[in-house]
Amino acid sequence: MSNSTTDDSLITTEVQADSNDDRAAPAAGTAVAARNLDVFYGDEQAIDDVTMEIPEKRVTALIGPSGCGKSTFLRCINRMNDMIEICRVEGDVEFGGKNVYDDDVDPVALRRKIGMVFQKPNPFPKSIRDNVAYGLKIQDFDGDVDQRVEESLKGAALWDEVKDQLDSSGLELSGGQQQRLCIARAIAPDPEVILMDEPTSALDPVAASKIEDLIDDLAEEYTVIIVTHNMQQAARISDRTAVFLTGGELVEYDDTAKIFEDPEEQRVEDYITGKFG
């Protein structure tokens, strides 16, 4: 695991800066690690004994056919599955040297460190400024809110388009702009990890392409973990790719080039060449 955080820091410390990060070089450390993770919905098993280490400040793509457990795995990382009553998680998800399922972890504090962006842009019916500032208010942020809003909108490549209309409703933006607003909202609390569940699938190709470019930029500062159905997208934007297959099995996990050019597993080759799924 990375040494950048300790147990207590899950709740208290800021993101560690690493301005010299070079994505061609090996990652500095592990951001998130699943260890023997099993997830059940009632009697149905959705994730089956998954162990994987996700590198920090890289883009990791989770791919696989519908229903193989990609979203379930993603939601385990910041305990969004807690909201689903019949969901049961066994095994560990380590973040900052700590199992996020330990009794003393505060899920709300965890979600500030591990933000999330969903398939459908879901801005609140509030102003652009208030959408971005939302997470700051919850955490009693005592810095300059307007400055953080501006930084977050710049970080989400939206500032230039909205800087003169910060008091307009977030719902008045286009779909692609709304998704970038949601990304700004996710990065405002200064997370370490951003989870993205098919963030471009509801967008037109131009808007989707802007988000892809943005993901590339975000990986300079954050660890990005993205579920995508779009294999070209995974190949374009990710450094590492994890292939899940039916039953929640992690079949292969490697550098993205290796997965797409020379996978070890026949089942993975069949999947990425479109023989099934």
Ligand X SMILES: Nc1ncnc2c1ncn2[C@@H]1O[C@H](COP(=O)(O)OP(=O)(O)OP(=O)(O)O)[C@@H](O)[C@H]1O
Q: Which is nearer to ligand X, 4 or 233 (CB)?
A: 233
Q: Which is nearer to ligand X, 21 or 48 (CB)?
A: 48
- Give 73: exposed, middle or buried? Use CB within 10 Å, 0-12, 13-18, 19+: buried
Q: Which is nearer to ligand X, 244 or 260 (CB)?
A: 244
Task: Provide the minimum distance between the beta carbon of 82 and ligand X in the complex, in angstroms, as a whole number.
Answer: 12
Task: Provide the minimum distance between the beta carbon of 87 and ligand X in the complex, in angstroms, as a whole number.
Answer: 7
Binding site for ligand X (CB under 6 A): 41, 46, 64, 66-72, 84, 86
Task: Provide the minimum distance between the beta carbon of 129 and ligand X in the complex, in angstroms, as a whole number.
Answer: 32
Q: Give the whole-angstrom CA distance, residue 129 versus residue 181.
A: 10
Task: Provide the minimum distance between the beta carbon of 238 and ligand X in the complex, in angstroms, as a whole number.
Answer: 16
Q: In the block, which residue shows the tokens 């070089």?
A: 25
Task: Provide the minimum distance between the beta carbon of 205 and ligand X in the complex, in angstroms, as a whole number.
Answer: 20
Instruction: For residue 251, give both structure tokens.
Output: 């079949």
In degrees rounded to 5, what are phi and psi of residue 2? -65, 150
Q: Could you count the other beta carbons within 10 Å of the beta carbon of residue 213?
A: 12
What separation in angstroms does the CA of 33 have from each of 2, 89, 143? 10, 15, 32
Q: Give the whole-angstrom CA distance, residue 152 versus residue 130.
A: 12
Q: Which is nearer to ligand X, 31 or 39 (CB)?
A: 39
Q: Which is nearer to ligand X, 63 or 157 (CB)?
A: 63
